[in-house]
Chains A and B, each alone.
Chain A
Amino acid sequence: NAGVMQNPRHLVRRRGQEARLRCSPMKGHSHVYWYRQLPEEGLKFMVYLQKENIIDESGMPKERFSAEFPKEGPSILRIQQVVRGDSAAYFCASSPVAGGIYNEQFFGPGTRLTVL
């Protein structure tokens, strides 16, 4: 069973461009979470999605950021008009519908976004 997959692993964008980050959850997992990590900091929650629904987006900036998890295909985190402050590692995690260890989320390797 493949783990959580994220691509690209590294992404370089110039200010004002769009960044699109993809996450494929583990097989059988329908819950996806996106987190952002700045250097020397812990991960900060951004958004929680289930298939075709946003459950909690309380950690997402109100502007320029959006996320989706369509019925088919990976979850996408989209950042429009990127600024230097968006440079960070973005991690995706997934968890199963029910069962398993409480609070166990399975993390992908992350996408490191650099804004020039």
Chain B
Amino acid sequence: LAKTTQPISMDSYEGQEVNITCSHNNIATNDYITWYQQFPSQGPRFIIQGYKTKVTNEVASLFIPADRKSSTLSLPRVSLSDTAVYYCLVGDQDSGNTPLVFGKGTRLSVIA
């Protein structure tokens, strides 16, 4: 499994756009990039997944450059409720249902 590296923590003011970058230099051809969000005292929840270029949903956007060695999760106009830990995961699509490998994630604190 490709190892991921993310900043330990980030601070942002409400209303700003937040970009969290994840490095995965050893990503394999079959690997997808997935981000989970974990609020305090809750289990993680899936927010977005991509393979290359750009993916956007109602929660976030995911930017993946051509070499796929990194990815950036973008949260538009954050609010206090976006305070959470964000995990970047990389895994093999062909492995089917497999255990997730979490790093320490990035702790985002949104300030009023």
Tell me whether B49 and A42 are in contact (CB under 8 A). no
Tell me whether B91 and A103 are in contact (CB under 8 A). yes
Interfacial chain B residues near A93, Cβ < 8 Å:
43, 100
Number of interface residues of A (CB under 8 A): 26
Q: Does B13 contact A (CB under 8 A)?
A: no
- Could you give, for residues 91-116 of chain A, a 1 whenever the CB lies within 8 Å of some chain B CB and a 0 otherwise? 10101000001111111111000000
On whether A103 and B104 interact (CB within 8 A), knowing A42-B87, A93-B43, A110-B43, the answer reads no
Q: Does B89 contact A (CB under 8 A)?
A: yes
Number of interface residues of B (CB under 8 A): 22
Q: Which residues of B contact A (CB under 8 A)?
A: 32, 34, 41-46, 49, 87, 89, 91, 93, 97-105
Interfacial chain B residues near A31, Cβ < 8 Å:
97
* Interchain Cβ contacts under 8 Å between A and B, 7 examples: A48-B97, A93-B100, A101-B49, A103-B91, A104-B49, A106-B45, A107-B45
Interfacial chain A residues near B42, Cβ < 8 Å:
107, 109-110
Interface centre among B91, B100, B101 (most CB of A within 10 A): B100
Closest to B85 in A: A42
Q: Which residues of A contact B (CB under 8 A)?
A: 4, 31, 33, 35, 40-45, 48, 56, 59, 91, 93, 95, 101-110
